[in-house]
Amino acid sequence: MKKILIFLFFLQCAHVFACSVPVFRYALERWHPDPYVIQLNYNTTHTNKLSEILDTLRTFDYDYSFIIEKIKTSGKSPQINLLYPKISGLKTNVWEGPMTVNNIKKILDSPVRREIARRIIGGDSAVLLLLEGDNEKRNNEVAATLSKNISIIEEEIKLPHEYADIPEEDLQIYDTNIVFKLSMLRLSKTNSNDGILNNMLTQFLPESIPKDSFPIVYPIFGRGRMLTAMFAKDVTERNLQGLCEYIAGECSCEIKGQNPGIDLLFSVDWDSLIEPGINLDAMLPPLAGFAEFTPAESETNFTAVKAVKIVKPKNKLKLWKNVIIIFGIIALGGAVIKIVKK
């Protein structure tokens, strides 16, 4: 509980410097997933099998969701190693097994991943994936808590364009007809069809986590980005509300790596399935030092570029204001951590 409270605090701090596009919408349109690493360990006697594997991988290579590393070995059976994206810093193997076409297909696609993608493309802002444990009663209790709170949160959550303090010009940035929508999906630990997804969800967790941590809830949004792992005891109305406020809130940073979470491996052609709803031109600031260019009337006749006037900021205290806000957040964060530790 202490860790989830600190996590939620810093999620809220992230919105201090934000644009008005909701996180879930910006992530869906602009955050390309970090590629997983697929290592193919083979020797010279298995070149035909390697060629077959590579052909299969090419048919699933959407959105640069994985990179391939071919590793020559001697005297070993051909094997596949699946690793988390390098940018994540996670050194643990997600999965390893024989180098077969069937295993490649299980690495790249599965029923639950396909259903998550179907829901997000269909309009869900996030899917709450419930990874079940061995205690069926506990699984049902947490599932009931999620079901109860989903409808409440959907009614209470406000998107950035519904805030009173959003500037009028920022309302042109994205489609304000979108709504915040959640759904829950259950995944059994014994589901063999989604065993590799199960590994993606658990291999980064400490080995010593107690059994009563299950079921675990994973909020998934965007192009398969997993925000965090919420243990059973932390699944409360307050914590769910905090996570959803981040997902529905103003996007704190256009750079995905500066936001919390880790990508799951999806083989989905997101770009062809998503209808863009963000007005990029309205969102980006004018290019400094450039003026409007007029098409030339002929090869030898062109219109001169007008001089660009440099406008000094009206408020000279803006920088100091931001510095004060940052130090205020740091101080408040330290206070929160001390209180939680007590």
CATH of the domain at 46: 3.40.30
Q: Would you state the structure tokens that stand for residue 118, as one six-digit string?
A: 């179907």
Reported confidence tier of residue 339, pLDDT bands at 50, 70, 90: very low
Average pLDDT over residues 272-295: 53
What per-residue confidence (pLDDT) applies to 331? 46
Closest CA to 105 of 265, 262, 270: 265
Closest CA to 212 of 240, 186, 232, 187: 232
What per-residue confidence (pLDDT) applies to 224? 97
Question: Is there a single domain that holds both residue 127 and residue 149?
Answer: yes
**Is 200 a domain residue?**
yes
Residues 342 and 327: their CA atoms lie apart, in Å, by 23
More confident residue, 251 or 283: 251
What per-residue confidence (pLDDT) applies to 258? 78
Question: Is there a single domain that holds both residue 139 and residue 233?
Answer: yes
Q: Would you state the structure tokens that stand for residue 42, as one six-digit string?
A: 């083979």
Peptide bond into 85 cis (omega under 30): no
What per-residue confidence (pLDDT) applies to 19? 63
Q: What angle do CA 121, 122, 126 make, to 5 degrees?
A: 70
Residues 49 and 64: their CA atoms lie apart, in Å, by 23
Question: Is there a single domain that holds both residue 18 and residue 48?
Answer: no
Picking from 56, 83, 110, the residue at the C-terminal end of a domain is: 110
| Overall number of domains in the chain | 3
- Domain extent at residue 99: 36-110
Question: Is there a single domain that holds both residue 187 and residue 264?
Answer: yes
**Is 315 a domain residue?**
yes
Question: Is there a single domain that holds both residue 127 and residue 218?
Answer: yes
Percent of the chain with pLDDT over 90: 53
Q: Is the pLDDT of residue 316 over 70?
A: no
More confident residue, 312 or 194: 194
Widest CA span in the chain: 80
**Is 190 a domain residue?**
yes
Beta strands in 20-153 (DSSP E): 36-42, 66-72, 79-83, 93-98, 126-131
What's CA 123's distance to the chain center, in Å?
Answer: 16
Question: Is there a single domain that holds both residue 152 and residue 232?
Answer: yes
Question: Is there a single domain that holds both residue 51 and residue 88?
Answer: yes
Average pLDDT over residues 203-227: 91
Peptide bond into 160 cis (omega under 30): no
Average pLDDT over residues 36-49: 91
Question: Is there a single domain that holds both residue 141 and residue 92?
Answer: no
Question: Is there a single domain that holds both residue 84 and residue 192?
Answer: no
Q: What is the pLDDT of residues 70-91, one digit of tens each?
A: 999 887 889 999 999 999 999 8
CB 225 within 8 A of CB 262: yes
CB 65 within 8 A of CB 33: yes
Picking from 66, 94, 110, the residue at the C-terminal end of a domain is: 110
CB 128 within 8 A of CB 181: no
**Is 258 a domain residue?**
yes
60 by DSSP, 3-state: which?
A: coil
Residues 112 and 127: their CA atoms lie apart, in Å, by 11
Residues 123 and 157: their CA atoms lie apart, in Å, by 16
Picking from 110, 129, 157, the residue at the C-terminal end of a domain is: 110
Residues 20 and 250: their CA atoms lie apart, in Å, by 5
What per-residue confidence (pLDDT) applies to 156? 94
Q: Would you list the DSSP string of 274-320?
A: ----B-HHHHSPPPTT-------SSSS--PPPPPPPPPPPS-TTHHH
Average pLDDT over residues 192-198: 96
Question: Is there a single domain that holds both residue 95 and residue 227?
Answer: no
**Is 88 a domain residue?**
yes
Question: Is there a single domain that holds both residue 170 and residue 226?
Answer: yes
Residues 304 and 86: their CA atoms lie apart, in Å, by 48
Reported confidence tier of residue 222, pLDDT bands at 50, 70, 90: very high
